[in-house]
Amino acid sequence: MIEYRIEADTAGMRLDKHLRKRLPNVPVSHLFKMIRTKKVRVNGKRAQPEQLLSEGDVLTIRGDEQQLVGAERPKVDPPPPPVDPSRLVILREDDWLMAVDKPSGMAVHTGSGITGGTLVDYVRAYLGPKAVRNDFAASPAHRLDRETSGVILVAKRRPAMVHFTEVFTHGLSRKRYLTLVKGKMPRDSGVIDLPLSEHQQTAESKARRGVNMQAAVTRWKVVKQSSEAALLSCAIETGRTHQIRRHLAAIGHPVAGDKKYGDFAFNRDVRARWGLKRLFLHAERIEFPHPEGGAKVAVEAPLAVELRDVLKRAALVP
């Protein structure tokens, strides 16, 4: 029989996933059978595959320990990602989290043809051996578009990731963005309450139940205005994909430099006159409760130099 307590860095993990890591030589089908037949118990009670483990839980696994654990597999460390971690701009770091100033053009994760040079690569190269802690690898806690710059949070421990999942799911954080948009805004501030179609809905899902619309709310405020463009401060109450870009385009004030939802003639003009070569969208500030104790934390990322230069040429410096 195997019996042990769940440590803090394992808390928040599903039982079935924990067992796969703890007993890598046991077939998954057999692990589920052990759970069904009550050979796996948590705090002496019948366990469920999907239940989340908590710190201090006592996990009991009935069976021959030598057969269950078996010969340990040799650990092979993955090759370090080919990135220079000194390029990483860290705004805040402690034992639980990192707040990083992500540059425009850096993807957060691999995917869609992106195989390396991601924020994940830089973070794990910077942390080195400390990137993995009790089978949890440091990971971004939320999304930021590839072309958007600014502050993004990274969870260094599993309990921190569990905490941030709750924070962002239940709207317990505040995010503020700076963006340059086309045209003169009709007033000093406003709210865009406009549902957006689910960005990653499959064609099969659309055919079966129609387009899935999701609630989305963006609050904007004019920081500086000219006859041609406006510098806005935006706060989002929901976290839909490309929300700010889609919302501002919908009301006729697309984000400067936006190749997907923007005004292409306006983009060409601001590139030629003001030197804007990227999307003008910057995650300036985030407020959130800290994973340890819940104290409010605020982190800010300064506006990138190339965007400040654009504002000077456009006479829109706040």
Of 179, 170, 163, the C-alpha closest to 238 is 170
Residues linked to residue 77 through DSSP beta bridges, in sequence order: none
Task: Characterize the bridge pairing of strands 45-46 and 40-42.
Answer: antiparallel
- Whole-number Å distance between alpha carbons of 223 and 229: 11
Cβ-in-10-Å burial (0-12, 13-18, 19+) of 6 comes to buried
Crossing angle of the two packed helices 264-274 and 305-313, in degrees rounded to 10: 90
- Reading phi first (left if > 0) and then psi (alpha if -120 to 50, else beta), residue 257 is in left
Residues with Cβ < 8 Å from 193, sequence gap 6 or more?
216, 217
The answer to whether 230 and 184 are in contact (CB under 8 A) is: yes
Q: What is the CA radius of gyration of the chain?
A: 24
Q: Let me know how many helices (H) and strands (E) the chain has, helices first.
A: 9, 18
Nearest Cα to 112, choosing from 200, 8, 224, 10? 200
Mark whether 95 is an active-site residue: no
Q: Which helix (H) or strand (E) holds 162?
A: helix 158-169
- How far apart are alpha carbons 247 and 251 in whole angstroms? 7
Active site residue: 145, 188, 193, 269, which one?
A: 145
* Residue 105 token pair: 């053009």
Q: Which residues are catalytic?
A: 145
